[in-house]
Copies of this chain bind each other. A is one copy, B any other.
Amino acid sequence: MVTPAYKAPFPVEKARRYLEPGPIVLVSSAWQGECNVMTLGWHTVMAFSPSLVGCLISSGNHSFELVRQSRECVINLPTTALTDTVIGIGNSSGAEIDKFARFGLTTEPADRVGAPRIRECHAHFECRLVDDSLVDRYDFFIWEIIAAHVAETPAYPETLHYTGDGIFMVTGEVIDRRQQFLPQML
């Protein structure tokens, strides 16, 4: 398992750079001495500033109560170096095991929330809950990213994009089309 080097603070309003492509993420949470981590593929950027992200965290997940009660989480971005770990986390429950221990993940204190960062991930987005009005109906949480840290290399990490049925697509080629964009669209 590759542990990324130092992560630099990253502007929260640019979180779309990592989240808009739609990667599987690892959401870590903590509440009353208990920590957990879950895989999550149902998320979307919702605003640049404040930096908002909406996530679907099913009430059937052990993490549900931890994030709902603490009103905080960290969205960690794994790369393909963590593929087996991502699958293991998605196929086990924090109600039964300590996933950090089982999968050899290193927790680190976050700057601004109680949930831990996961050192082996490429980036960390520390979040606080700003709107729970759709939690009861859809399990949909709207978070504000209040701190972000990102490994400086690689610039475009290989991320995992889930299709269901145990099958992932991996991001590969990066295509730069800045020249085709209007200046105000960049």
Contact = CB atoms under 8 A, between A and B. Distances in A.
Contacts of A181: 87, 90-91, 166
Q: How many of these chains are in the complex?
A: 2
A161 B167 contact: no
A17 interface: yes
Contact of A170 (B16, B134, B164, B173): B173
Nearest to A177: B166
A17 B185 contact: no
B20 A161 contact: yes
A1 B53 CA distance: 34
Contacts of A91: 180-182, 185
Given A54-B54, A156-B169, A180-B84, A164 B46 contact: no
Interface residues of A, number: 58
A172 B171 contact: yes
A168 B177 contact: yes
Contact of A44 (B54, B156, B159, B173): B54
A182 B56 CA distance: 21
Contacts of A182: 91
A134 B21 CA distance: 23
A22 interface: yes
A176 interface: yes
The 10 tightest CB contacts between A and B, nearest first, are A22-B22, A172-B172, A166-B178, A21-B161, A44-B44, A169-B171, A170-B173, A166-B181, A87-B180, A91-B182
